[in-house]
Amino acid sequence: MNSSRKPSNPHLQRNLSSERGAFIALNQEIFAQLLTFVDFAEKFTIGFVEINFPPDAKILVEALKTNPDCRDIQFVTLSFSDPNLRFLRDEIVKILPTIEIEINKKLVLIVQGLEKSIGVYGDYPPVLQDLNFVRDAYKRTVPHPILFILPDYALTRLAKFAPDFWAWQSGLFRFQTPQITKDNAIK
């Protein structure tokens, strides 16, 4: 079984490569700002990354991990796609001891999938209620920068239903989806 997950179709590989290039080119300025943010972020620091198209999130994470400016940073992606998730901090605290931090590297956590538990409609999602309630505990228990990658509607709901946590942000980075990615998605 091939675990590399690289497409064997050369045409598909070219499409992915062109999508990656188009994404970075379209978002060059905001990507540079995000690079500066992760370089200077220390201890518990929150960055919100707005990405509305899931393939773009993969491209962004790969671009961060392979960028020469990030060679002293260890990015660890945490996926939380359970729609019934309520206690995010507890889940992160459980995972932290299992992460093998590389020597002389700063750990930056990337949280993805949280939009599933935030939902699209309804009042006060439980995960946001808890996020707002236990925000002070993050400083003690999650002493690493965190990037939350979320679509625009989830960020809007987070700002509305967890306003105290939202206020702690140190950066908000809004990425655009290139037309080529949109076109390839509907083929």
pLDDT digits (tens, 9 = 90+) for 65-113: 999 999 999 999 999 999 999 999 999 999 999 999 999 999 999 999 9
Residue 84's φ and ψ, nearest 5 degrees, are -100, 10
CA trace torsion 113, 106, 49, 180 (10° rounding):
-90
Strand partners, 79: 112
Q: Considering the domain boundaries, does residue 130 fall inside one?
A: yes
Q: Considering the domain boundaries, does residue 64 fall inside one?
A: yes
Which pLDDT score, from 0 to 100, does residue 187 have? 66
Using alpha carbons, select from 102, 96, 112 the residue that is nearest to residue 150: 112
Which pLDDT score, from 0 to 100, does residue 117 have? 94
Over its C-alpha atoms, the chain yields an Rg (Å, rounded) of 17
Q: What is the pTM of this model?
A: 0.86
Q: How many domains does the chain have?
A: 1
Place of tokens 């905001």: 30
Burial class of residue 91, CB neighbours in 10 A (0-12, 13-18, 19+): middle
Tens place of pLDDT per residue across the chain (187 aa): 333 334 444 444 445 567 778 888 899 999 999 999 999 999 999 999 999 988 899 999 999 999 999 999 999 999 999 999 999 999 999 999 999 999 999 999 999 999 999 988 878 888 999 888 888 899 899 999 999 999 999 999 999 999 999 998 889 999 998 877 777 767 6
What are the DSSP calls for 22-78, one per residue?
Answer: HHHHHTHHHHHHHHHHHHH--SS-EEEEE-SSHHHHHHHHHHHHH-GGGTTEEEEEE
Which pLDDT score, from 0 to 100, does residue 9 have? 43
Q: Considering the domain boundaries, does residue 45 fall inside one?
A: yes
Q: Considering the domain boundaries, does residue 186 fall inside one?
A: no
- Look up the CATH number of the domain holding residue 175: 3.40.50.300
- Domain with 65 in it: 12-179
Using alpha carbons, select from 79, 165, 91 the residue that is nearest to residue 116: 79
